[in-house]
Amino acid sequence: MKQISLLYHDVVKNENDAGASGFPGADADIYKLDEANFSAHLARIAELGQDRVQVVGRGGELSAAGGAPVLFTFDDGGVSAHEPTARLLEARGWRGHFFVVTERVGQPGFLSREQIVDLHRRGHHIGSHSHSHPSRFSQIGWEKMVHEWKESRRILEEILGQPVWSASVPGGFYSRQVARAAREAGYTVMFNSEPDARVSRVEGLVLLGRYGIQRQTTPELAQSLARADFLPRASQAVTWNAKKPLKKIGGKLWLSFRRWFFKKS
């Protein structure tokens, strides 16, 4: 089955306010949408039909009714998840997936324990985005990977008082070993950052790709992605795959390439 998961981060008042939520710095700011733009994304996606937006089940269950399901996912656990993101989703009857960096819980700019509990109570999905968000997750080694996933899951389960079984991969540094480590740590569903609409099974996990949204992503483009149009998805795949060899060569080189690339674009 085809699914369209959209990968968002923070929603902030305006570009000057980007430091208020999530990780600081120019690299992170690229992914922070201002509230007006995010609201416009929601409006355009709503035109595709209210029931398209879904939350994934523990075994990767999604309903195909009304076309390819659209999933809103938000990485990092910045405090904007609680306000305005969740409120804006709820105003349309939707719920989101929020992936939390557990080491940051309660720190300035990040969700508090109470806010995580509140999001969960309001029907949003809470998952792990690792414990400490290592910059090159696929290269930290097996022991550390398992620890990152386990520790994060332990903390979230302690906060929520119930099982946590989903994860999203920090920085898009996915490998089969990353998936295997998450399975070892008890997760059943994983989101990576591969621009891919398939739902696949890898290393005993249900794996979902995601389409990345940046500050300059227009509402029209977000709608086109959500509609599963071929062109914008293919163009993300081309860009992503062009970057892959760089990611393999080394994270440092990749990170400076990314900085250079986004300055240009």
Tell me which residues touch Zn ion (CB under 5 A). Answer: 75-76, 170
Q: How far is the CB of 76 from Zn ion (least distance, A)?
A: 5
* Residues sharing a CB contact under 8 Å with residue 231, sequence separation 6 or more, in sequence order: 224
Query: Which is nearer to Zn ion, 172 or 232 (by Cβ)?
Result: 172
H/E run at residue 249: helix 230-249
Rounded distance between C-alpha atoms, residue 195 and residue 234, angstroms: 8
Looking at beta carbons only, is 7 or 62 nearer to Zn ion?
A: 7
Q: Which is nearer to Zn ion, 34 or 76 (CB)?
A: 76
Q: Which residue is nearest to Zn ion (CB)?
A: 75
CB of 86 to Zn ion, least distance (A): 18
Nearer to Zn ion, 10 or 75 (CB): 75
Given the structure tokens 């994860």, which residue do they identify?
167
The two three-digit tokens of residue 131, written as one number: 């414990």
Q: Could you tell me the smallest distance in angstroms from the CB atom of residue 12 to Zn ion?
A: 16
- Cα(27)–Cα(111) distance, integer angstroms: 20
Query: Least CB distance from residue 20 to Zn ion, whole Å?
Result: 17
- Least separation in angstroms between CB 168 and Zn ion: 8
d(CA 231, CA 141): 36
Closer to Zn ion by Cβ: residue 73 or 223: 73
- How distant is the alpha carbon of residue 63 from its chain centre? 20
The two three-digit tokens of residue 95, written as one number:
């719920």
- State in angstroms the smallest separation of the CB of 75 from Zn ion: 4
How deeply is 46 buried, as exposed, middle or buried, from its count of CB atoms within 10 A (0-12, 13-18, 19+)? Answer: middle
Q: Which is nearer to Zn ion, 76 or 148 (CB)?
A: 76
Q: How far apart are CA 131 and CA 128, in angstroms?
A: 8
